Structure 1
Amino acid sequence: MKQIYAAALALLLFCVTAVSALADAPSVKIQPLLAEHQTVIAKSSRKTIGPAIDAIASSGLPQAQQVLEVWAAKNMWMRKSDGFFFIGEKVEGKTYRLTDFDNGAVVGEFQKGDLKQLKPNSGIRAMIATALVQFQLSDPDSAARADALQSIARDPSADQLAPLRNSISGEADPALKAQKLRLERLLTIRFGASDAERIGAISDMAGDLGVDLRASLNPVLTTVREAATEIPAANIAAQLIPDEGISREDAYALLVAAGLAAPVTQAGDIRAALAQHIDGGRVAGIPVAQLSDPAQRTRAYAMLATQGLVPPLVGEVEMTRAINDHVFYDRYLDPSAPVTEAAAKALKDIELKVSFNQALDLGLDALSLASIYFLAAIGLAITFGVMGVINMAHGEFIMMGAYTGYVVQQFVPDHTLSIIVATPLAFAVTFAAGVAMERLVIRHLYSRPLETLLATFGISIALQQLAKNIFGTQARPLTAPGWLDGAWVMNDVVSISYIRIAIFVLALIFLCVFLFIMKRTRLGLDTRAVTQNPAMAAQMGINPGRVNMLTFGLGSGIAGIAGVAIGLFAKVTSELGSDYIVQSFMTVVVGGVGNIWGTLAGAAMIGFLQKGIEWMNPSNTLAAQTYMIIFIIIFIQFRPRGIIALKGRAAGD
């Protein structure tokens, strides 16, 4: 009895397994479809393979995607005995294991001689990839769907539009759905079924500055230049008038290319033809000795042409007659005039907005550069503009601040915290260095500008060499915090990095701090007093030496903080400061010596001027700097006291 129950249970399990297997197996097999196109698939010719790929892709069978993927991967094999197709897997040697597409079962192992491997070339693989798009757009894996969208955007075609539209409603990922909707509009512009549909898509994308939109509109407006006896009933972009819209030579070349005129007879052709028809020392009855005359050569050639011995003579007269008898025009490749008109208008509007945004982007770049120059020059505005000390080592204080930030990051791995620590530390280091320099060198050289320049220049060289000895000549990284990575992207044209924005904000903060120190603190009041009249300030109980020391230290300390900011995007090397010292002096001098607002104006002027010159001559930045210096020299000739001249008693010093 137990044996009967066991047998019945085994039979029941077998039936359940069999039913499950039958349920999992496709009800419709793809093998008959492959057999129907067996000859074309086996031949693998790009010219004839299209219908077979389309039939597989549009079959609606669940096996279709696997067949196309296996085929593209060169893993599809045909069994020569019956022409059936399988998935091939090498076992060993020349033995291959074949798996059925329909049920996934292994059908056996076969020798390579009994099989034919399908090796589609790059053209056929591209066609298969296009056919696979409809499956990939609905793939459960979002990465596969994203790859499919990139593939369509990279190589759009009309047959991709329908599967793309079908996949939109079922897309669950909001970002991918937005990409699909945008891509559908772009494809509709080029491949829509009706003019109204295409014009509607153009209208929907109005105002968009995306490069992909312009890439979709440009093919719609592609033209071909043609010649004919009369203007055809086609979508004509423009009629061309010889010697106005088109040169005579180009116009006649169009006639020759279209078979509407014979090529102009060249002098070399005439000489070669005459040489071939010399008979008894004559050519067409004209003695050879007379053929040195161009008119006689032309006459002899014309006589040969009337006899049918050479092609007809085509000269200026024939060329003019042919040009006058024909019309020349640019024809849109797209046959729809309403669509090309809408596309032309949209592209014109886009180009206008792009030009405006390019100007805005250039302005933001100039503003960013101006803020960098202001940061580099604000310390010099104190030491040079207020104290009148020509400090050629100012750039090295910027370099010292950048290296301070680098050293701090070696001990504080958190980049945000390291910048917070490095900023006051850089001020302290360069403040101390500035005080030491003022006490040891500068105080002995006041009112002796040439000696000050030479002394500070020597200190500059010494500090650069010291930095090389300590840190080497290789650039050191000063890494910005992660939240400063990337850029603020307003559209496809305008963007500005977060580091540049942070430097701009820092420049504004420095401006406010400097104004507060000079207007609201005892040091600022003492500095202004000493600047206006040192002797009277001393009589009022102010120590000019101490004020000069602190002021010089303040300017040096600000240069150190500027070095930390500049080091976040520039290479930190011993030459870092020398890259900014010239611009710093120009900023202070052009803006107006002794005036912080003048320094700000000078930085803005130099930043915008340099960016403007670079925009006009983008391939040569050295020339841009040269033109900028020439302009500044001319500017100083007309306004020697700068943009904002210093007023009061100090203005005459």
Structure 2
Amino acid sequence: MKILLLALCFALSFGHLATAQTTPVQDVLQSQRALIEKSSRRSIGPAIDALVASGLPQMQTVFEVWQAKEMWQRKADGLFFAATKNADGTFTLLDFEDRGEVGTAASTDLKQLKPNSGVRAMIATALVQFQLSDPDPAKRADALNSIARDPEVALLAPLRGSIAGETDEDILARKTRLERLMTMAYDNDIPSRVAAITEMSGDLGVDFRATLNPILSTTRVVAQTQPDANIAQEVNVGSDTLTRADAYALLVAAGDAPVEITVDARDATLEAQIDGGRIAGFPVAQLSTENARDKVYDALVERGLAAPRVTQADIAASLASYRFFDVYAEPSQVVTNAAEAAVSASQTRVAISQVADLGLDALSLASIYFLAAIGLAITFGVMGVINMAHGEFIMMGAYTGYVVQQFVPNHTASILIAVPLAFAVTFAAGVALERLVVRWLYHRPLETLLATFGVSIALQQLAKNIFGTQARPLTSPPWLDGAWAINDVVSISYIRIAIFVLAFLFLALFLFIMKLTRLGLETRAVTQNPKMAASMGINPDRVNMLTFGLGSGIAGIAGVAIGLFAKVTSEMGSDYIVQSFMTVVVGGVGNIWGTLAGAAMIGGFQKGVEFLNPSNTLAAQTYMIIFIIIFIQFRPRGIIALKGRAAGD
């Protein structure tokens, strides 16, 4: 009876093993069993190729399990399984066919396959081919990222095959672009490569230019006649790209000319031959001149103790016997010609895009300067008050935004609250400054300058006492993160766009106040003729107070905007006070359109200097001040000067 039971168990077990062995996945794995067991980077390639060539969709699971070191081999029959460890130390075996459980086994009955890093890299390459058509879009995107990082010719065909069935538009665009790039680099068909290059000619993508660079890479070769290769150019000795010394060094490296004996090499040889205070019979004490050393060295050459010196005549003769060429690494001239044309078109578009990007940067900087100067245009341009504390009002607005964010964690809500609150705080501070200090110093510009300068120092110290000397963060809302990328060259951050829009809104607000409100009418009247305005029932003191407060309030809002991308410190106002004064003076005192024009001129000039001299950030400030000094010699009243009676004041 026991014998029958054992026979039955053996039969069932054998039947199970036979079933497992006859599954398509196991058949392929068993056919490559020896290589898989060895798992050597040098020998595993054919096994991986065989698994891929099987076309079985389950091979993706095999590769994933194998790469994760979770594939096990049963010692009894050599079959491969995925396995999960149980609480009692045994392993549940999972079949690769349908991931179903096929039994359990003790750890002693199994062998874990642990591929090294080299084998795992090869598995990853094979796995990419399956992931390109995976139902999960994230896995398809990861596969594209993997190919882009490490493209291989073997991946071109699977990539092409996956394009037809792609349903995601973004992934389809990425696949199509990557296929074009890989076609340029790896396709064996020359017309296909040329067509891909021509199709993408002028593209601004960094990946496109990076693909063309290896195609257009050259190696400098030396030959007596023109080599049978794809020649980029013949290089003349003595040109900027090939000096005589470099050319002769190439000959020496190629073994076509003897090594030139330098002065140091000559002296080292002489020192090595010193014997009893003499070299080749010559006293060392007499070798104080170059000619004497050359003579002794030649004596060593005659005795066979030193290598012959190479004369300039020898060098000239050697150089005259050889020609120098830059040879493309790409053997096809048709391909390199297409690549050259594509690179030229790309460079033209890159240059145009760089100009556009520089223009956006200049416009962005101009909007920042305008936003910082618009309040000063009111207090200095309209009222004629030199307010050196204007920068500190900007600083107060930025700190107001920081304080609001400490109580309102939602960054969008905090900014919406901070903008009007900063206006209110700095408006009140401006009114207090005008009532307590400035009102007593009208028409006394030097005293006003000194007084407001003292106030600015006091405000800076007060900010240090309250907030400390470390920079404080003013975090922008999430919808202002990132940048608007027009292409791979032209981009502008959303914060800069927001500041530009804010500057435009304040320009419109200022024009509305000055042209269509009673305060604007009274301000213009007081500016042009205070006595006549007073006789018409206008209170000049009240108008001056409100105007000064308005300019200070706008500076506070500018501080919130500037604090979103600049450091918020007690000294941040001093970074903008000089530019603000220059903007108002260059544009034209008392004219808002002049302030706008001045901001555009200064922002454009500064960005232009930075573009031409990017390594020196201080050069832009220096050249800008020199430019303004020269500019005001020819237009002392600015770009747009006031006309009429106010201009004469």
Q: For 1:569-588, list aligned pairs within 5 A.
A: 569-588=565-584
The secondary structure found in structure 2 opposite 1:29 is helix
SS in structure 2 opposite 1:627? helix
Report if aligned partners of 1:588, 1:602 keep a CA contact under 8 Å in 2.
yes
Q: Which moved more, 1:363-372 or 1:428-437?
A: 428-437
In 1, the alpha carbon distance for the partners of 2:616 and 2:277 equals 64
Partner of 2:600: 604
Which residue of structure 2 lines up, in the alignment, with residue 51 of structure 1? Answer: 46
| Residue 556 of structure 1, aligned match among 528, 533, 552 | 552
Q: CA deviation at 1:85?
A: 5.9
Answer whether contact 2:411 2:475 (CA < 8 A) is retained.
yes
Kept in 2: contact 1:273–1:301 (CA 8 A) = no
Indicate how the Cα distance of structure 1 residues 493 and 273 shifts in structure 2: closer, same or farther if over 3 A, else same: closer
- Counterpart check, 1:171 vs 2:171: no
Correspondent of 1:233 among 228, 231, 247: 228
Residues 111-130 of structure 1 aligned to structure 2 (within 5 Å): 111=108, 118-121=114-117, 123-130=118-125
Is 1:31–1:101's contact at 8 Å kept on the other side of the alignment? Answer: no
Is the CA contact 2:26–2:80 (under 8 Å) kept in the aligned structure 1? no
| Counterpart residue identity of residue 33, structure 1 | S
Kept in 2, the 8 Å contact 1:487–1:497? The answer is: yes
1:226-263 CA-partner distances (Å, limit 9, x unpaired): 11222211111111111114112211222222222232
**Which residue of structure 1 aligns with residue 30 of structure 2?**
32
What is the alpha-carbon distance in structure 2 between the residues aligned to residue 131 and residue 359 of structure 1?
44
Structure 2 residue aligned with 1:451: 447
The reply to whether residue 214 of structure 1 matches residue 209 of structure 2 is yes
- The aligned counterpart of 1:109 is 106
Quote the Cα distance in structure 1 between the aligned partners of 2:31 and 2:445: 94
Q: Distance in 1 between matches of 2:420 and 2:265?
A: 84
2:187 is the counterpart of 1:189 = no
Q: How does 1:494-509 map to 2 (within 5 A)?
A: 494-509=490-505
Residues 50 and 310 of structure 1, relative CA distance in 2, 3 Å threshold: farther
Q: Could you tell me how far apart the structure 1 residues matched to 2:456 and 2:274 are?
A: 86
Distance 2:549 2:277 in 1: 101
Matching residue's letter, 1:30: V
How far apart are 1:98 and its partner, in Å?
A: 7.5
- Cα deviation for residue 514 of structure 1 reads 1.8
Q: What is the aligned counterpart of 1:204 among 199, 202, 205?
A: 199
Aligned to 1:4: none
Which segments of 5 or more consecutive residues in structure 2 lack a partner in the other structure? 1-11
Query: More displaced, 610-619 or 224-233?
Result: 610-619
Q: Deviations over 1:369-396 (max 9, x none)?
A: 1111111111111111111111112122
Shift of 1:421: 4.0
Alpha carbons of structure 1 residues 95 and 635: separation in structure 2 relative to 1, 3 Å: same
Letter in 1 for 2:195: G
Note the alpha carbon deviations across 1:345-384, whole angstroms, 9 max, x for none. 1111111111111111111111111111111111111111
Moved more, 573-582 or 182-191: 573-582
What's the CA shift string for 1:313-361, capped at 9, x where partnerless? 4333332222211111111111111111111111111111111111111
Q: Please tell me the residue identity of whatever aligns with 1:567.
A: G
Deviates more, 1:71-80 or 1:456-465: 71-80
Q: Secondary structure at the match of 1:207?
A: coil
d(CA) in 1 for partners of 2:208, 2:472: 42
Say if 1:71 and 1:326 are closer, same or farther in 2 by CA, change over 3 A.
Answer: farther
Q: Which whole-Å deviations, capped at 9, do the CAs of 1:502-548 have from their partners, x for residues lacking one?
A: 22122122222222322333322322222222223333333222221
Partners of 1:401 and 1:294 in 2: how far apart?
A: 77
1:397: how far off? Answer: 2.1
Q: TM-score normalized by structure 1?
A: 0.86
Q: More displaced, 329-338 or 200-209? A: 200-209
Relative to structure 1, is the Cα distance of residues 412 and 271 closer, same or farther in structure 2, using a 3 angstrom cutoff? closer
Name the CA distance, whole Å, in 2 between partners of 1:643 and 1:350. 38
Which segment drifts farther, 182-191 or 614-623?
A: 614-623
Q: Distance in 1 between matches of 2:409 and 2:275?
A: 97
- Cα distance change, pair 284–50 in 1 and its aligned pair in 2 (3 A): farther
Say whether residues 1:536 and 2:532 are aligned partners.
yes
Aligned mate of 1:352, from 321, 329, 348? 348
Q: CA deviation at 1:579?
A: 2.4
Q: Quote the Cα distance in structure 2 between the aligned partners of 1:95 and 1:312.
A: 79
Residue 652 of structure 1 is matched in structure 2 by 648
Does the CA contact (< 8 Å) of 1:284 and 1:303 recur in 2?
Answer: no
2:378 pairs with 1:379: no
Which residue identity does 1:169 align to in structure 2? A
Q: Distance in 2 between matches of 1:472 and 1:489?
A: 37
Residue by residue, what CA displacement relative to the aligned partner does 1:94-138 show, whole Å, maximum 9, x if unpaired? 9988877678745733549x95854423x3332222222111212
Distance 2:272 2:407 in 1: 91
Higher deviation after alignment, 641-650 or 310-319: 310-319
1:152 aligned residue: 147
Q: Which residue identity is paired with 1:108? A: A
Q: Which residue number in structure 1 is paired with residue 426 of structure 2?
A: 430
Match of 1:326 in 2: 322
**102-111 or 326-335: which moved more?**
102-111
Alpha-carbon distance in 2 for matches of 1:295, 1:424 = 86
- What is the rounded CA distance, in whole Å, between the counterparts of 1:590 and 1:496 in structure 2? 27
Contact 1:97-1:109 within 8 A present in 2 as well: no
Deviates more, 1:92-101 or 1:438-447: 92-101
Q: Partners of 1:491 and 1:132 in 2: how far apart?
A: 32
Give runs of aligned pairs for residues 623-638 of structure 1, distance below 5 A: 623-638=619-634
Counterpart residue number, 1:5: none
Q: Does residue 134 in structure 1 map to residue 129 in structure 2? A: yes
Partner of 2:589: helix, strand, or coil?
coil
For the Cα contact (< 8 Å) 1:164–1:184, is it kept in 2?
A: yes
Q: What is the letter of the counterpart of residue 105 of structure 2?
A: G
Residue 296 of structure 1 aligns with which residue?
295
- 1:258 and 2:254 matched: yes
User: Which residue type is aligned with residue 299 of structure 1?
Assistant: D
**Post-superposition shift, 1:429?**
3.0
| CA distance in 2 between partners of 1:280 and 1:93 (Å) | 86
**Residues 553/52 of structure 1: CA separation in 2 closer, same or farther (3 Å cut):** same
Aligned to 2:116, the other structure's residue is in SS state: coil
Shift of 1:295: 4.4
The letter for the 2-side match of 1:615 is F
Counterpart Cα distance in 1 of 2:193 and 2:308: 50
Which letter maps to 2:446? L
Residue aligned with 1:238, SS: strand
Aligned-partner Cα distance in 2 for 1:540–1:585: 33
CA distance in 2, matches of 1:165, 1:282: 77
Identity %: 66
Aligned positions, number: 630
Q: Which deviates more from structure 2 when the two are superposed, residues 636-645 or residues 180-189? A: 636-645
Q: Which runs of 5+ in 1 are unaligned?
A: 1-13
Asked whether the equivalents of residues 98 and 110 of structure 1 are also in contact (C-alpha less than 8 Å), the reply is no
Cα 1:230–1:89 change in 2 (3 A) is farther
Q: 2:587 aligns with which of 570, 588, 591?
A: 591
For 1:92 and 1:320, the matched residues in 2 are separated by 83
CA offsets per residue over residues 376-431 of structure 1, 9 Å max, x none?
11111111111111111212222333333444445555544444444333333322
The aligned counterpart of 1:3 is: none
More off after superposition, 331-340 vs 636-645: 636-645
Aligned counterparts of 2:176 and 2:513: Cα–Cα separation in 1: 56
